[in-house]
Chains A and B, each alone.
Chain A
Amino acid sequence: MEGDCHYLDGNLAAKKRVKYIQRVLNAIGMESDRIAMVNLSSAMGAQFAQVATEMTERIRKLGPNPLRHSPQAKAPDGPDASE
């Protein structure tokens, strides 16, 4: 649960980093919904299944990674679609 982490405040730090990644995705032009964070304990199997299902449905609605289908740049050594 939020703030109640085995690694003390690790989940609170992770929450801020997920927010940062959402901001980066927005700037790039990708849907920020492609990343999400939820807090569950190891005893919440049913909720985990529900959250995983919801995330899968959300990603299906958003569709495949658009970078895989856009024009290819002659990329140098760096990764592209898999970034």
Chain B
Amino acid sequence: MITGEQKPLEEIKGFLGDDRNVLVVGCGTCVTVCFAGGEKEAQILASSLRMSTKLGGDPKEVSDVTVQRQCEWEYLDVIEKEVQEADIIVSLACGIGVQAMAKHFPEKWVVPGLNTNFLGLPEEQGLWTEQCQACGDCVLALTGGICPIARCAKQLLNGPCGGSENGLCEVKRVKKDGGIPVMETDARGRKRPVMEDVECAWHLIHERLSSLDKLDLLMEVQPPKDWSTSRDGGPRRIVREDLLLLDEG
């Protein structure tokens, strides 16, 4: 699923400018499941914007509506009236939904209320982890269902680098809580972000293939990856001639 985190309220308020009528639009699919932009979050954001702008002496009219999916035209048609009544739209969808809104309502100013993060797995309640980079040429059959493209810092294809130690990557991750870096004070009294360990994807791959007696898969040297299926060729698209509607003209 696509994961996201809501932008800080101050940043969203900064988008509003002098516009008076604000419509917060939630999305009922991926960002609902990751608790960032569903109906509940749209209501909380609308309420927060009403209270915050009122406290700031520049009260705005803020309403909210949530559609099943912001990335499909048919679900956008049903909020036409609400959109037309608003001066500005704050979309709580992923980047796809924001762009769909802007394209579907070209005369309206649409701004994002989320930062879209990654294609991830809800491993447990409150924890999402990146699993896929949509590279367009899946290698999971070679690596036991563990992706070295998304989960290895160097995107290696032929085993771990020298930085793998005790199953951990040499690259650490900034620890965050609710999108905010967790800070600590060092011995000199300076604030710094808390870093946390990241599992070495290739260690995980080796462990898994070993347990399934499939280590021989790793004996074949993989050539450099063909990145033409990924972002290197610019924005990608899928065309299915069998599904395209007939040109009635």
- Alpha-carbon distance between A79 and B48 when the two chains are bound, in angstroms: 11
- Alpha-carbon distance between A80 and B61 when the two chains are bound, in angstroms: 10
Q: Contacts A20-B178, A27-B8, A27-B9 given; indicate if A75 touches B55 (C-beta within 8 A).
A: no
Main secondary structure of the interface of B (DSSP, over half): helix
* Residue numbers in B under 8 Å from A30 (CB-CB): 51, 55
- Interface size on B, as a range, is 20 to 34
- Alpha-carbon distance between A23 and B48 when the two chains are bound, in angstroms: 11
CB closest residue in chain B, given A20: B178
Contact between B47 and A83 (Cβ–Cβ < 8 Å)?
yes
Binary CB contact string for chain B from 34 to 69 against chain A (1 if under 8 A, 0 otherwise): 000000000010111011111111011111100000
- Interface size on A, as a range, is 20 to 34
* Cβ contact of B51, chosen from A20, A28, A71, A72, cutoff 8 A: A28
Contact between A78 and B50 (Cβ–Cβ < 8 Å)?
yes
27 sample A-B contacts, Cβ–Cβ < 8 Å, listed by A number: A20-B178, A27-B9, A28-B48, A28-B55, A29-B55, A29-B56, A30-B51, A30-B55, A66-B55, A67-B54, A70-B55, A71-B57, A72-B59, A73-B54, A73-B60, A74-B61, A75-B61, A76-B62, A76-B63, A78-B62, A78-B63, A78-B64, A80-B50, A80-B51, A80-B54, A83-B47, A83-B50
